[in-house]
Amino acid sequence: MPKYLNTSLAKTISVVFHPLLMPTLLLGVLFLVAPSCVGVAILKIPTRLSLLSLIFINTFLVPALLIYYFYRVGLVKSLQLESLPDRRLPYFTTALIYALSSYFFGKMMGGISEIAPQIGTILASIASSVFLVGIVSLQWQISAHAVGMSGVLGSISGFIIKFGENLLLYPLIGLVVLSGYVLAARLQLNAHTPAQVQVGFGLGFGVGLIAVLAFI
């Protein structure tokens, strides 16, 4: 993990690698590097990118706009969700949105649901992680950034272990380095303690890995 980041860079990293962007990051890597693992190899690249755009809308844009609405009506005090009370409603709402998205992509999207049910499974695992973050946040401020980044690492590791998809080793190495910077950024900003980051990392990695090994 990087020993030092200046505050400006730490803030930029925290925004660019926001937890809500992790489903798009994970599925983007899988769609482009190992499409057979998630059933989209028969789709042309433009079709995969269109599907990824739809995933982005469902997993980033919808919850982000809803959190902004919560802020505007006073249900949360800060868009950074810095306090435990601010975190609970957004996390449980996001978990519900992700659960509905997993059902939509896994069951209701016609041909895509038939050829690529793995997408629904992956989104369900992310919904589970977010729900667990919400549960923990009832009492303790676990790092959602750590959960998100490690969830990506756990899922990709699961695909490598289960399917022997060695092409994923290269993005995995890059993401490991990137995770170090994200976690260092959260510590630099005093957003979390080392324990909150470590527990978040373990939770996300465990859920992502188990979901792939057990359900895909």
Residues 78-127 have pLDDT tens digits of 988 888 999 999 999 999 999 999 999 999 998 999 999 999 999 999 99
Whether residue 1 is predicted with pLDDT greater than 90 in this model: the reply is no
Parse the chain into domains and list their residue ranges.
Answer: 7-215
| Rounded-to-integer distance, Cα 52 and Cα 1, Å | 30
What's the average model confidence in pLDDT over 15-27?
A: 97
| Rounded-to-integer distance, Cα 13 and Cα 16, Å | 5
CA distances from 195 to 49, 69, 190, 207 (A): 37, 31, 12, 18
CA distances from 30 to 18, 182, 215 (A): 19, 21, 16
What's the average model confidence in pLDDT over 175-195?
A: 95
> Are 207 and 191 in contact, with CB atoms under 8 Å apart?
no
> Which tokens in the block code for residue 201?
């990392």
Whether residue 4 is predicted with pLDDT greater than 80 in this model: the reply is no
**Nearest CA among 191, 193, 153, 202 for reference residue 10:** 191
Q: What mean pLDDT value characterizes the chain?
A: 95
Question: What's the pLDDT score for residue 2?
Answer: 56
Whether residue 17 is predicted with pLDDT greater than 70 in this model: the reply is yes
**Whole-prediction pTM value?**
0.95
